[in-house]
Homo-oligomer: A and B are copies of this chain.
Amino acid sequence: MRVWSSIAIAALMLVMAPATADELQPETLHVEKVPDGPRDHWIWIGDLGAQHNVDTRAMLFDADKGKMLGMLSTGFWSAGVLLPKSTGNVVALETFFEKGTRGPRHDYVTVYDPRTLLPLHEIEVPPRRMTALVQTRMAGLTDDDRFVAITNFTPRQTMTIVDLQKNRFVAETDTPGCGQIYPAGPRRILLLCGDASLKSMVLDDNGKVVKQTDGKPFFDPFADPVIVHAVRAGDDWLFVSLAGYIYQVDASGDEVKLREKWSLLTDGERADGWRTGGYQPLAVQKKDGLLYALMRKGPESTYEEPGDAVWVFDIATHKRVAEFDLANATLAIEVSQDANPIVYGASMKTVVPYWSLVALTLLGQKFEQLDVVKPALDVYDAKSGKLLRTVDHVASFATSLKQP
């Protein structure tokens, strides 16, 4: 250790004087815990990592302070986090390959402590989880927070059940033709099927499927398909179609039925090409029964491109009660549930002002759209639509938002 140790000792013995009263006091390095206090305006951002989807993350932000609180590294192409309210834990679906991008694959349901963000349990599950650009509804918690159901696709379609009380894998079940998962009761989940129906599955205390009920098709999957992201209002799930209709299904009975189909758009707006945009365009503010919809104008093939407006609907009357413009092109929205609700937007903020990009285009300068945007978190007052703040550099590619 000849040379290194001499340098190391020099470093350790660096000439430091004892601190006097008017000098800054030496500090001790430690590791933070996630702070206590109200979480009304906290948000988990799911980061798909763009070309680095070997390295996806979930990032926790305090939207009031515009401050990052911590992050999880969730491995290859994660599906965001699940947030069981009863324990407060953070549950992530993680995939790893033994040699980064090659070698055997291992999938885990990892349960993190909400204060230390350290893994409490790493539950290995069959390495068959579905991965898609849409992160939403790839897994779901039963309403009692006991079981996690996960969509598998190899392309055989199956479902994995994990027990969050015993922290173990329960079973993998064939679910031919059915995939995305929508909770609908303490021990009940719905699966969205290719024939446009919702299949109901009830689990027993051991996580075994004890009752299955097929649903009837509630929309036309060819003429006007719904997107897989949907939101819950009471016992109902609200799906939105590419043509801007809400398919509101009643999930209270054994057989899931369409309650009603209503429109976000006037005929004129529909003719103009208005529809929802991005990957997570719907959010429900429960107390007032309001549906927040991320909107854009463009041909049907742009239904996953960023939206630039939020329209607010009264779910009971189907009336549009408010609307506001967004500051940045937005891929996902969420709304808080407190008395002073805020709307979160996962956006693609331009790195220089919009007008300068337009001016450059007019001057004949070329640049690539994706080169001039960076993911940001925009925070709006949910009532006035006023932009409260924008938090920069929140991810590489933020496609989902989840509120604790």
Contacts and interface: CB of A to CB of B under 8 A. Distances in A.
Interface of A: 1-8, 49, 51-52, 54-55, 73-76, 94, 96, 98-102, 106, 108, 119, 122, 155-157, 176-178, 193-195, 351-353, 356-357, 360, 365, 367-368, 371-372, 374, 392, 396
Secondary structure of the A side of the interface?
Answer: mixed
20 contacts: A1-B176, A2-B176, A2-B177, A3-B193, A5-B176, A5-B177, A49-B52, A52-B396, A54-B54, A54-B55, A54-B73, A73-B102, A96-B100, A351-B371, A351-B372, A352-B356, A352-B367, A353-B360, A353-B365, A368-B392
Contact of A352 (B7, B73, B365): B365
- Residue among A55, A73, A367 with max Cβ neighbours from chain B (10 Å): A55
A343 to B, nearest CB: 25
Contacts of A367: 351-352
A368 B351 contact: yes
A123 to B, nearest CB: 13
Contact of A94 (B100, B351, B365): B100
Given A367-B351, A367-B352, A371-B374, A75 B49 contact: no
Contact of A101 (B1, B73, B98): B73
* Residue from A7, A100, A122, A368 having most chain B Cβ neighbours under 10 A: A100
A176 B3 contact: yes
A75 B52 contact: no
B96 A75 contact: no
A340 B177 CA distance: 60
B351 A177 contact: no
B98 A3 contact: no
A368 B349 CA distance: 13
A403 to B, nearest CB: 25
Given A73-B101, A353-B365, A1 B177 contact: yes
A195 B157 CA distance: 63
Contacts of A51: 396
A194 B5 CA distance: 10
Given A4-B194, A55-B52, A108-B99, A351 B353 contact: no
A122 B98 contact: no
A96 B99 contact: yes
